Amino acid sequence: MKAIDLIPLIDELGTFKHYGRVKRVVGLMIESQGPESAIGDICYIHTGVRQHKKRILAEVVGFRDEMVILMPFTAVNDISPGAIVEGCGRTLEIKVGSGLIGKVVDPLGQPIDSSILPKGLASVAIDQDPPNPMTRPPISEPIDVGVRMIDSLLTVGKGQRVGIFAGSGVGKSTLLGMVARNTTADLNVIALIGERGREVREFIEKDLGPEGLARSIIVVATSDQPALMRIKGALAATAIAEYFRDKGLNVMLMMDSVTRVAMAQREIGLAVGEPPTTKGYTPSVFAILPRLLERTGTNQLGTITAFYTVLVDGDDMNEPIADAVRGILDGHFVLDRQLANKGQFPALNALKSVSRVMNNIVGTEHKKAAEQLRANLATYLESEDLINIGAYKRGSSKTIDESIKRYPAILSFLKQGTHEKATKEESIDNLIQLMGKGE
């Protein structure tokens, strides 16, 4: 081989390393002169002002006046002026494989219980493009999530993406735990983004349980971690789900919550100088949401059925993030605080919730029974005040009389214990039988 032929090969090897120096630290941001890098590249900041030298992982998030703007994955306490910044020339990758099943990892893919990663894992980039729309097979088959109300009234298809909208303390984590334990999906990938540290172990032991953990991979980024780590947690969980989808599996991805991902992106956007637009959210927030949410769904090899929880401030369903997410996803399930206060769990509001693919994946009898239950429930709730004060006279309306007769059975049907199992077939049969009574 001629020497001139080796030049392209040497260039590909990347034998040269690029370095820079820290010039300024402003809030969450570190400004450095160099190294040569691109947006999304990771760098190491070498610190040596104390006895123990270490290197801090950071990411290039912008440029300003020929300065590179970095955001660290950890605290900036040990960074000093002139600290060396080493460019890696690549984006963030994590290790993925079947050996991760049953483990709890951080956004960098490292176990948070101080254990060692198993061998045989593959490296994947955490930020990837969504599948080509023309290569996405249509959703044609329902998936069993093990929650009676969802399987019967809000049937979810394999590869569907659903938002769970609720205020704080209405039962989002409990509902996710029920789905993770009872679903027929091959694997669960659960992302706990911005959670309190106390709630992580509580969710794993109480809501998920040993049976749920045995078929799950959990990615955790707690609220005390930097904004960049919280965003990477969402991206890493999605990348893990994509890896197993490409292996032909039907994956269940659950992210709690996408609102905190948006808040983390807002922190970064404001720090790099983006203007606040809608309620303080920067334009990059509304750019990252569709890119993140569109990565899940179907492709030619497998499916990712996704549940994203959305925190709604003051139970306002029209706040900016809730409104944006609802427009992207294939359905929205609303958890109602009034139902929770009445002791109805899961506190899903059947009349405010929608599964946009249900009509394409259920049979005629099932569809008819679900519509009839909704009609009976809506009729009763519209007349509930009159019924409760005794102002309604039996026989005045056949429709209201029917709804009054069926309401106790409907209410019992909608309730489900946290550890009560209900298969999709059982739920549909019970619905059809319930709506068949009295005809």
Interval 354-400: pLDDT, tens: 999 999 999 999 999 999 999 999 999 999 888 888 888 888 889 99
**Which candidate, 103, 258, 285, 267, places its Cα nearest to that of 193?**
258
Whether the predicted pLDDT of 37 surpasses 70: yes
pLDDT band of residue 49 (cuts 50, 70, 90) is low
CA distance 338 to 49: 56
**Which candidate, 243, 241, 179, places its Cα nearest to that of 211?**
179
Whether the predicted pLDDT of 438 surpasses 50: no
10-14, 213-217, 273-277: range with lowest mean pLDDT? 10-14
> Cβ neighbours of residue 284 under 8 Å, at least 6 residues apart?
265, 268, 269, 274
Please tell me the CATH code under which domain 16-91 is placed. 2.40.10.170
Token pair recorded at residue 264 = 């983390």
The CATH number of 365-435, from 2.60.40.10, 1.20.1270.330, 3.40.190.10, 3.40.50.720, is 1.20.1270.330
**CATH T-level topology, domain 94-358:** Rossmann fold (3.40.50)
> Cβ neighbours of residue 226 under 8 Å, at least 6 residues apart?
28, 71, 72, 73, 74, 75
- 431 touches 153 (CB < 8 A): yes
pLDDT band of residue 411 (cuts 50, 70, 90) is very high
Mean pLDDT of 274-288: 90
In the chain, what are the domain boundaries? 16-91, 94-358, 365-435
The whole-chain average pLDDT of the chain stands at 89
Rounded to 10 deg, the angle between the 398-414 and 364-382 helix axes is: 110
